[in-house]
Amino acid sequence: MTSSSAQPIGLFARYLTLWVALCIVAGIALGSRFPSLFHLLGAMEVAHINLPVALLIWAMILPMLLKIDYSALHKVWDHRRGIGVTLAINWLVKPFSMALLGYIFIRLLFAPYLDRTQIDSYIAGLILLAAAPCTAMVFVWSRLTGGDPQFTLSQVALNDVIMVFAFAPIVGLLLGVTAITVPWDTLFLSVLLYIVIPVLLAYTGRRMLLAQGRLDAVLHMMDPISMAALLLTVVLLFGFQGQQILAQPLVILLLAIPITIQVYFNSMLAYWLNRKLGVAHAVAGPSSLIGASNFFELAVAAAIALFGFESGAALATVVGVLVEVPVMLSVVAIVNRSKTWYESAMTGEVRSQHQK
C-alpha cells in the first residue's frame, strides 16, 4: 500500500488538528444549543451502539477493508512479533496500568476535587475502559498511518476472540468483583457491525472493482468521504455530551487526564517494543494504536449494567469516548512524523549487528 493511498491528502489532512478542534467546539455548542436533537440521535442505538455513529464508522473503515488482499491473510504470521507486542500491551499492560493511574490520580491527587462517594466508581469506569481493546476505530487510525491492512484486520479479530474469554476475569480481578455482567449483546453486535458485515461487503466489493479496474478510483473518491465522516463523528460524540461537559467541566477534565496518559504510555511502549524487535513501521504503527485504543461501547454498556446510568463509572467511560478521537489522532501524528527516525534507527541496529 502506497503512502498516497494510505493517508488523506490536501486541506483536510494538512489542517486535521484544527478541523478536529473546531468540531469539538461545534459539537459542544450544538449539543448545548439543540439538546433535543442530539438526544434523539443519541437514542438511535441498539445494545448501546449508536447507529448514526456506526454508519459514520462504516464510511471510515470501508476504504481500508477494500485494500485488503484477502487471499494473502495467511501471510499475517510474518508479523507475529507485532501481534505479540499488541497482545502483551492489550492484555498484560493496559488494564493494570490504568488501574494504577486511576489509583494515583483519582484516589490520591484529585480526590479533594471529586465526589468522594464516587471515587471507587470513577476508577471502576477507567478500568472497564482499558480492559477491552478497540474493535472499529483502529481501522481508521491504521489507515491514517499507512498501516498494513492484513495485520490490522487479523489483530482486531484476534483481540475480539480473546475478549470473549478475558474481559470478565480481568475486570473481576481488578475490581474485586466475583460476578461481572458482560454486555454480550454489545460485544457480539459490535463484531457483527464492525467486522463481519463490512469485511463481507469489502471482500465482495473488492473483487467486483478489481474486475472492473475501478478499485483505485473508488478509493480515491472515498478519501474525502471518510475524512468528513471522521469530523462529523467528533461533532456527534461531543454533541451527545455537550450539556454534561458544560455542567461539570472540572470532573470531566480530571477524568480525562489519566485516560490521556494511559493512551500515550501504552502506544509509545508498543511503538518502542516493535522498533526493538525490528518490526516494520507499517505494522508498528497499527500495533501501537491498537495497543492504546479502547472499545468504548462495551465499556459504557458494562459500566451502566454494573453501576447504573448516573454512576461515576458511566461518566468515566463517557469521558473515554470524548478523549478517544482527538488523543488517538495525536498518536497518529506522532507515528507518522517519527517514521524516518523509526526506520533509520532500525537500519542502524541491523548494521551494528552485521558488524558484530
The span from the CA of 33 to the CA of 15, in Å, is: 27
Exposed (0-12), middle (13-18) or buried (19+): which is 334, by Cβ within 10 Å? middle
Please state the rounded mean pLDDT for residues 175-195: 87
**pLDDT confidence band for 4 (50 / 70 / 90):** very low
Q: Is residue 328 part of a domain?
A: yes
Does residue 351 register a pLDDT over 50? no
> CA dist 134 to 286, 298, 337, Å?
12, 9, 23
Beta-strand ranges (E) seen in 123-225 are none
Q: pTM value?
A: 0.89
In a domain, 330, yes or no: yes
Select the more confidently predicted residue: 273 or 10: 273
Q: What is the CATH number of the domain that holds 65?
A: 1.20.1530.20
On the question of pLDDT at 8 being above 50, the answer is no
Asked if residue 27 is part of any domain, the answer here is yes
Which band of pLDDT confidence, cut at 50, 70 and 90, is reported for residue 10? low
Using pLDDT thresholds of 50, 70 and 90, give the confidence band for residue 74.
Answer: confident
Angstrom distance (rounded) from CA 246 to CA 227: 27
Which neighbouring-strand residues pair with 46?
49
Per-residue DSSP letter, 26: H
Please report whether residue 204 resides in a domain: yes
Cβ pair 60, 67 in contact under 8 A? no
The tens digit of pLDDT for each residue in 39-57 reads 999 999 998 899 999 999 9
Q: Round to whole Å and give the CA distance between 190 and 184.
A: 10
Residues 6+ apart with CB under 8 A from 34: none
- Confidence at residue 17, expressed as pLDDT on a 0 to 100 scale: 82
Residue 8 belongs to a domain: no
Q: Is residue 107 included in any domain, yes or no?
A: yes
Q: What CA–CA distance (Å, rounded) separates 102 from 124?
A: 9
Among the ranges given (95-99, 250-254, 325-329, 342-346), the one the predictor scored with the smallest mean pLDDT: 342-346
Q: Within a domain: residue 12?
A: no
pLDDT at 149: 93
Does 6 fall in a domain? no
**How large is the average pLDDT for residues 159-164?**
93
Average pLDDT over residues 219-248: 92
Nearest to 314 by CA among 177, 121, 184: 121
Average pLDDT, the chain: 90
Element containing residue 66 per DSSP (H, E): helix 51-66
Look at the block and give the residue holding cell 542502524: 348
* Cell numbers given for 49: 451502539
Beta bridge partners of 50: 45
Mean pLDDT (whole number) for 289-295: 91
Shortest CA distance to 319 belongs to which of 265, 251, 236, 262? 251
Q: Which amino acid is at 190?
A: S
Instruction: Please choose, from the candidates 283, 243, 247, 285, the residue with its C-alpha nearest in 3D space to the C-alpha of residue 268.
Output: 285
Max Cα separation, the chain? Answer: 68
Is residue 179's pLDDT more than 80?
no
Phi and psi, residue 50, nearest 5°? -75, 125
Lowest mean pLDDT among 28-42, 63-77, 202-216: 63-77
Domains held by the chain: number: 1
Q: Which domain holds residue 167?
A: 19-347
- What is the tens place of the pLDDT at every residue in 101-140? 999 999 999 999 999 999 999 999 999 999 989 888 999 9
